[in-house]
Amino acid sequence: MDEVVENLVMLAMIILICCGGALCFICLDSDNRRNNDHPTDHQPPRSFHELIQTIKPTGTYKPPPPRPIPVVKFKSRDFKDGVECVVCLSELAEGDEARVLPTCNHCFHAYCIDTWLQSNSNCPVCRKNVVGRLIPNHGSSSVPRTSSDANPEVVIDIPS
């Protein structure tokens, strides 16, 4: 009797496998026929480089410009020991036009640091990268202004 049950189980398994295979064949064949009814232009996949070149920007995002580094009048009362401009190696005097670098708070004559930053992008004292843009000094000349100059012009441009 056990032999008969074993044979029936074996036969049922063979029938299930055959039915499953036939069902898979029918499904795949119907997919192929459906795709052949609507022929499409099959193009090979493009390279990553070609795909990247086809991407079009969705907007015109421009990062904001760096914050300005304003020119201010130097006030010696704010500094106990005075401040030496390491670019020109002279002391900043009361009323001199100065810039304070925003990344490290080092202070220099405006003319001196402007000249320095034309060929360097870091602070001459600590070598930190200077982040900011220079505001054109409307009254600037080739000689740095001192407190003895008449009516020095101070430009402060702080965005709101």
Domain ranges of the chain: 68-134
* pLDDT of the residue at 64: 76
Q: Please give the pLDDT value at position 36.
A: 55
pLDDT at res. 30: 61
For position 144, what pLDDT does the model report?
A: 42
Burial of 77 (0-12, 13-18, 19+ CB in 10 A): exposed
Give how far Cα 91 sits from Cα of 12, 112, 149, Å.
Answer: 102, 12, 17
pTM above 0.75, yes or no: no
Class of domain 68-134: alpha beta
pLDDT at residue 140, as a whole number: 44
Q: Backbone phi, then psi, for 38, in 5-degree steps? A: -125, 85
pLDDT in tens, 55-100: 777 777 777 777 788 888 988 887 777 789 999 999 998 889 998 8
Q: What is the dihedral of CA 81, 87, 92, 95, to 10 degrees?
A: -150
Written as one letter, the residue type at 71 is V
The Cα–Cα gap between 46 and 104 comes to 49
CB 117 within 8 A of CB 134: yes
Sheet containing strand 97-100, edge to edge, reads 72-73, 97-100, 107-109
Segments of the chain scoring below 50 in pLDDT: 139-156, 160
